[in-house]
Amino acid sequence: MNLLDLKRKAIELRKDFVTMIYEAGAGHVGSDLSCTDILVSLYYHQLHVDPNNPEDPERDRYIQSKGHAVEILWAILADKGFIEKEELKTFSQFDSRLLGHPNNLVDGIEMNTGSLGHGLSVSVGSALAAKLDGANYQTYTLMGDGELAEGSVWEAAMAATQYKLDNLTAIIDRNGLQITGSTEDVMGLKDLHGKWEAFGWHVVDVKDGNDIEQLLAAYKDKVEGKPTVIIANTLKGKGVSAAEGVASWHHHALNSEEYEAAIADLDRALEELVNGK
């Protein structure tokens, strides 16, 4: 996909999962909106995965440690052909495979996530296994910034440096908000770049983490012998005006008026993109 196609796909997928959340009456819409561009740039440009061979031992591994933002992931897996699009209608319903967090009953999901702070540790294990096996696959994980208050994240960060896991890329969705408010008020992260650098990681700052072009450049920025962390400065609720920068939309079920306004915002963005505005 070219850059225009990727931007269009991000808007279309936002419409898909906003509709999923509205129809289910549950979901983490603000969190999904902030990381949509990260996942689109990964799944449609960076990751080597095949829906026709989801267990390919040479596939890249993606672990969504930020498991509560699963709706965008379900929408992508359906769009890529890992699951049927009709199954999206079952999201968060009784006996559905599509739960409110990733689960590995679904092709394309490496592990169950949702208990924050575990994804990086498992990703370290995945990357280390590739080194030991002489395999070429890459491992990627997405973390929320609020998740970085978990001590297990920093234990994993030390291990990744110890084993020189340059086949590991961690991405931080740095939207500055979590369910109880500002990350800096709840558990301040302060100099996040300096923290990761002190732990021995190659740190890539993305000024606008909702800019797909900047994200694509960040994935290419690697250093031999060091794991990479991308700090993507995103906007919570990106693309839906009522949700942008609003902590209460972290976990929010849209009413009919909010849903119609959200779709109108996204339709307008799509029209502007197509018309080159």
Of 7 and 178, the structure prediction assigns the larger pLDDT to 7
CB of 247 closer than 8 Å to CB of 236: yes
pLDDT tens-digit profile of 160-185? 999 999 999 999 999 887 877 778 87
Q: Is residue 274 predicted with pLDDT exceeding 80?
A: yes
pLDDT tens-digit profile of 99-126? 889 999 899 999 999 888 899 999 999 9
Name the pLDDT band for 188 (thresholds 50, 70, 90). confident
Q: Which CATH superfamily is domain 3-274 in?
A: Thiamin diphosphate (ThDP)-binding fold, Pyr/PP domains (3.40.50.970)
Predicted local distance difference test score (pLDDT) of residue 47:
96
Predicted local distance difference test score (pLDDT) of residue 34:
95
User: Domain residue spans in the chain?
Assistant: 3-274
How big is the chain by its Cα radius of gyration, in Å?
Answer: 18
Lowest mean pLDDT among 60-64, 147-151, 201-205: 147-151
Tokens of 207: 């000024």
Q: Is residue 249 predicted with pLDDT exceeding 90?
A: no
Predicted local distance difference test score (pLDDT) of residue 239:
95
Longest dimension (CA), the chain: 54
Of 276 and 29, the structure prediction assigns the larger pLDDT to 29
Q: Mean pLDDT throughout 121-146?
A: 97
Q: The sheet that has 61-64: what strands, in order across it? A: 61-64, 139-144, 168-174, 228-233, 202-206
Q: What percent of the chain has pLDDT over 90?
A: 81
Q: Is residue 135 predicted with pLDDT exceeding 80?
A: yes
Q: Is residue 277 predicted with pLDDT exceeding 70?
A: no
Predicted local distance difference test score (pLDDT) of residue 248:
82
Predicted local distance difference test score (pLDDT) of residue 114:
82
pLDDT tens-digit profile of 141-159? 999 999 999 999 999 999 9
What DSSP string describes 165-206? Answer: -TTEEEEEEE-SEETTEEHHHHH---SHHHHHHHTT-EEEEE
CB of 120 closer than 8 Å to CB of 156: yes
Give the C-alpha distances (Å, rounded to integers) separating 173 from 44, 68, 267: 18, 13, 25
